[in-house]
Every structure is written in structure tokens, then in C-alpha cells.
């Protein structure tokens, strides 16, 4: 029982690692470095937030 559970956990770990590598490659080839390191979302949130003091 424990051996099968151990193999299942290793299998899930390998699948997740491969998925992360695939996603990393996909994002890296889809977007430029400037887009990935920009803080545009933070600027948009700062402009859209309205604080009342």
C-alpha cells in the first residue's frame, strides 16, 4: 500500500514538474522580457484605487 502511494506521489511530482517546465517555456517564448518585468498592473491598480481619508 505505502509503496504504491509513494510511486503515485512521485508520478504526480514528475507530472507537475513537467507542466511547470512547459508553462515556463511557453510564457518565455510568448512574452518579451520587458512585458514580464513591467509593473503596468501595479500602475493600473494605483490609478483605479480611490482612497478617502
35 pLDDT band (50/70/90 cuts)? confident
For the chain, what is the largest distance between any 2 Cα atoms, rounded to a whole number of angstroms? 61
Tell me the per-residue pLDDT of 39-50, one tens digit each, with 9 for 90 and over. 666 565 666 666
Which pLDDT score is estimated for 22?
97
Residue with cell 509503496: 3
The 10s digit of each residue's pLDDT in 8-22 is 999 999 999 999 999
- pTM exceeds 0.85 for this model: no
Amino acid at each position: 500500500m505505502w509503496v504504491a502511494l509513494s510511486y503515485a506521489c512521485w508520478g504526480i511530482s514528475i507530472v507537475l514538474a513537467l507542466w511547470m517546465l512547459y508553462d515556463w517555456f511557453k510564457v518565455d517564448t510568448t512574452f518579451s522580457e520587458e512585458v514580464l518585468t513591467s509593473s503596468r498592473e501595479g500602475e493600473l491598480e494605483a490609478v483605479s484605487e480611490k482612497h478617502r481619508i
